């Protein structure tokens, strides 16, 4: 049975909202991370590779936005879900995956970021609302209803889920109305097939952010060494892909061990 | 009085239930008292074993004060609280103030430790590893990220409750034996190395069409300034979201102009 785009958007929003709970509310098992969220959505609704590609492009950007001490960053799970959900119709409209990624992804990430920012803002509001839920639990305990502890604690998940679901769905629908006419204009006037390097801009930004956030002594030097090693290994054309992958990982291990040897941890 | 016989009053099933319930510690995170309801929810099975009637109500209300820690390390604190409750023989007012001091102290210690180890070290390391493995052709790389992080989180919670029950207030002693700080430093360094490798693979992979754009150095000329620019922006405390939005806008302008 063919599935309409609206039904697909609803289903993706539901799964995305469920995964977004993992970031601030429930379990905390990294299911909300862009690469995981993208891969799961890809596996369920389109293609694992496409989902993982979108997730990998976005993953490095938010590597160091951590929910420590109740901090709320832009809701990257919503951003990933929105970006992937908007990308699918573009691919189905006749563009290749590569062209869709190059042309559509920056647009969709921007839409996703707006949605993610709204979602984060609403999370802050809901945390204030949770104070009322705690008061209700206290009243329940006073009345001798011990079950009000788990009932209210579990009930607090519902508004969070509903918030994420509505924000993601609304952003997908709004994105389709706003971004698609603009993209049609771009498709007519640009030959996007040669500008693939732009897709690497987001991961490159993530690398810069990551190296800055880590603030490790000699971090840039050793990152540069491993970059050079990976670059050389990947450019040797005679190596098969699995062998090149093993060699890159091995080079990382060697660089790491050399670093430890040169400046061991302070005891 | 020995703590151990009191602590063993909590059966294994209840201890496991407490550890698993810590996964919902932040379900009702609120601005006023942070994770208070989540903590009550987590330790409720144990409190039910120790108290009944009015005493149970009082015990629950004792734990509705402010509480905040790293959720992965919450098992240690939950275990210590239960041990303290099991061994507690003080009057109500004394008990409440001592409990609040203990929760505040343990919450701060484990919060700082957990945030550094889990959020600032393990998460970036696994995230970068997953991206690198994906770029190297492993589509299922995300399973590593979820599998290792979730497994370590589950083990920490289960083991944490056990150690908390054994150690009580002195549960931090167990942490001194495990060199968490050194592990965190090693993970951060490994993340640096992996980020470098990701940059190398990005510059060389055909997937990103670097090869299509008049050779390798054209791609490098585009990617390296972005890395340096974002490094500087982040050093000046510009948020990742703003940097990402800026890069997206730049990409769009770039595609249009070219």
Q: Do A205 and B188 touch (CB under 8 A)?
A: no
What residues contact A245, with CB distance under 8 A and at least 6 apart? B133, B136, B137, B138
What residues contact B71, with CB distance under 8 A and at least 6 apart? A28, B22, B23, B25, B26, B35, B114
- The DSSP letter of residue B178 is T
Most B CBs within 10 A among A49, A119, A210, hence the mutation to make, goes to A210
Which one, of A75, A72, A85, lies nearest residue A169 by Cα? A85
- Scanning every residue of chain A, which has its alpha carbon at the shortest distance from the alpha carbon of B149? A29
Residue with tokens 């585009």: B222
Query: Is the pLDDT confidence value at B217 over 80?
Result: no
Query: Is the pLDDT confidence value at B211 over 50?
Result: no
SS3 A29: coil
- The CA-based diameter of chain A, rounded to the nearest angstrom, is 75
pLDDT at A111: 86
pLDDT at A116: 86
A149-185 burial, b if ≥16 CB within 10 A, otherwise e?
bbbbbeebeebbbebbbebbbebbbebbeebbeebee
Most B CBs within 10 A among A60, A118, A197, hence the mutation to make, goes to A197
pLDDT at B210: 39
Most A CBs within 10 A among B148, B216, B230, hence the mutation to make, goes to B230
Q: Do A212 and B34 touch (CB under 8 A)?
A: no
CA dist., res. B210 & res. A197, Å (int): 5
pLDDT tens digits along B6-46 = 555 788 888 899 999 999 988 888 888 888 899 999 999 99
Q: How far is A199 from chain B (nearest CA, A)?
A: 7
pLDDT at B244: 84
pLDDT tens digits along B107-155 = 888 888 888 888 889 999 999 999 999 988 888 989 988 999 999 999 9
Q: Do A213 and B234 touch (CB under 8 A)?
A: yes
A vs B, Cβ pairs < 8 A, gives 382
B36 vs A: CB within 8 A: yes
Residue with tokens 């990152």: A223
What residues contact A231, with CB distance under 8 A and at least 6 apart? B200, B201, B203, B204
What residues contact B252, with CB distance under 8 A and at least 6 apart? A106, A107, A110
Using an 8 Å CB-CB cutoff, list chain B residues near A156.
27-28, 37
Taking each helix axis as running N to C, give the angle between helix B180-204 and helix A241-262, from 0 to 180 degrees, rounded to the nearest 10: 140
pLDDT at B95: 67
pLDDT at B3: 42
Q: Which stretch, B1-10, B41-50, B202-211, has highest mean pLDDT?
A: B41-50
CA dist., res. B100 & res. B89, Å (int): 16
Residue A236 structure tokens: 């040797």
CA dist., res. B8 & res. A78, Å (int): 45
Q: Do A248 and B124 touch (CB under 8 A)?
A: no
- Scanning every residue of chain B, which has its alpha carbon at the shortest distance from the alpha carbon of A31? B146
What residues contact A44, with CB distance under 8 A and at least 6 apart? A11, A15
Q: How far is A84 from chain B (nearest CA, A)?
A: 15
Using an 8 Å CB-CB cutoff, list chain B residues near A28.
23, 26, 71-72, 153
Average pLDDT (B210-221) is 48
Residue A227 structure tokens: 């970059």
Taking each helix axis as running N to C, give the angle between helix B123-135 and helix B141-167, from 0 to 180 degrees, rounded to the nearest 10: 160
Give, in order, the Cα–Cα distances in Å from B198 to each of A207, A248, B32, B194, B239. Answer: 8, 10, 42, 6, 22
Q: Do B136 and A65 touch (CB under 8 A)?
A: no
Which one, of A119, A108, A117, lies nearest residue A38 by Cα? A108
Query: Is the pLDDT confidence value at B208 over 60?
Result: no
B252 vs A: CB within 8 A: yes
- Scanning every residue of chain A, which has its alpha carbon at the shortest distance from the alpha carbon of B219? A197
Residue A28 structure tokens: 């905390």
Q: How far is C-alpha B234 from the geometric centre of its chain's CA atoms?
A: 22
DSSP bridge partners of B67: B34
Give, in order, the Cα–Cα distances in Å from B176 to each of B4, B122, B173, B187. Answer: 21, 19, 5, 18
Nearest to A234 among B124, B131, B204 (CB): B204
Q: Do A59 and B130 touch (CB under 8 A)?
A: yes
DSSP bridge partners of B34: B30, B67
Cβ pair B68, B107 in contact under 8 A = yes
Q: Do B200 and A154 touch (CB under 8 A)?
A: no
pLDDT tens digits along B147-186 = 999 999 999 999 989 888 887 777 777 777 677 888 888 9
Give, in order, the Cα–Cα distances in Å from A186 to each of A87, A100, A131, A162, A202. Answer: 15, 11, 48, 35, 20
Residue with tokens 């959020």: B119
Using an 8 Å CB-CB cutoff, list chain B residues near A211.
192, 195, 227, 231
Residue with tokens 């995230």: B127
Mean pLDDT by 10 residues, chain A (267 residues): 79 94 85 93 90 89 77 85 89 78 81 87 89 90 86 90 93 86 73 63 86 83 89 82 88 88 64
Q: Which ipTM score applies to this complex?
A: 0.90
Q: How far is A245 from chain B (nearest CA, A)?
A: 5
Q: Which residue has the higher pLDDT, A186 or B5?
A: A186
H helix intervals, chain B: 3-7, 12-21, 36-50, 53-62, 74-87, 92-114, 123-135, 141-167, 172-177, 180-204, 216-235, 240-257
């Amino acid at each position: 049975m063919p599935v309409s785009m609206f039904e697909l958007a609803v289903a993706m929003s539901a799964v995305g909202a469920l995964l977004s709970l993992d970031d601030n509310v429930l379990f905390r098992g990294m299911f909300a991370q862009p690469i995981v969220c993208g891969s799961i959505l890809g596996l369920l609704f389109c293609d694992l590779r496409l989902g993982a590609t979108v997730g990998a492009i976005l993953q490095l950007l938010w590597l160091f936005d951590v929910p420590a001490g109740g901090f709320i960053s832009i809701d990257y799970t919503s951003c990933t879900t929105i970006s992937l959900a908007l990308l699918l119709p573009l691919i189905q409209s006749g563009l290749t995956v590569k062209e869709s990624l190059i042309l559509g992804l920056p647009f969709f990430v921007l839409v996703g970021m707006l949605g993610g920012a709204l979602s984060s803002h609403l999370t802050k509001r809901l945390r204030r609302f949770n104070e009322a839920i705690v008061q209700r639990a206290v009243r329940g305990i006073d009345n001798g209803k011990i079950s009000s502890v788990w009932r209210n604690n579990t009930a607090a998940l519902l508004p969070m889920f509903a918030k994420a679901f509505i924000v993601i769905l609304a952003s997908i629908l709004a994105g389709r109305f706003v971004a698609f006419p603009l993209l049609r204009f771009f498709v007519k006037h640009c030959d996007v097939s040669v500008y693939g390097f732009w897709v690497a801009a987001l991961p490159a930004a993530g690398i810069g952010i990551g190296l800055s956030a880590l603030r490790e002594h000699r971090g840039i030097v050793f990152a540069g060494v491993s970059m050079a090693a990976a670059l050389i290994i990947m450019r040797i054309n005679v190596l098969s892909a699995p062998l090149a992958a093993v060699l890159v990982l091995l080079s990382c291990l060697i660089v790491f061990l050399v670093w430890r040897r040169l400046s061991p941890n302070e005891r | 009085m020995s703590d151990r016989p009191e602590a063993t009053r909590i059966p294994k099933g209840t201890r496991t239930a407490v550890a698993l319930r810590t996964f919902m510690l932040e379900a009702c995170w609120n601005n006023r008292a942070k994770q208070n309801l989540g903590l009550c929810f987590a330790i409720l099975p144990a409190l039910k074993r120790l108290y009944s009637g009015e005493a149970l109500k009082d015990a629950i209300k004792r734990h509705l004060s402010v509480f905040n820690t790293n959720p992965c390390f919450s098992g240690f604190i939950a275990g210590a609280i239960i041990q303290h409750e099991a061994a507690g023989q003080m009057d109500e007012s004394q008990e409440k103030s001592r409990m609040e001091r203990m929760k505040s102290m343990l919450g701060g210690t484990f919060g700082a430790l957990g945030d550094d180890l889990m959020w600032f070290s393990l998460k970036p390391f696994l995230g970068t590893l997953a991206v690198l493995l994906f770029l190297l052709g492993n589509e299922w790389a995300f399973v590593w990220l979820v599998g290792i992080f979730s497994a370590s989180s589950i083990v920490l919670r289960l083991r944490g409750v056990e150690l908390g029950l054994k150690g009580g207030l002195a549960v931090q002693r167990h942490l001194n034996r495990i060199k968490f700080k050194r592990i965190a430093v090693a993970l951060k360094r490994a993340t640096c190395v992996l980020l470098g490798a990701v940059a190398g693979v990005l510059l060389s992979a055909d997937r990103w069409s670097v090869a299509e754009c008049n050779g390798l150095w054209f791609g490098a000329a585009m990617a390296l300034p972005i890395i340096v620019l974002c490094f500087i922006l982040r050093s000046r405390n510009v948020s990742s979201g703003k940097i990402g939005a800026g890069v997206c806008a730049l990409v769009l302008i770039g595609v249009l102009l070219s």
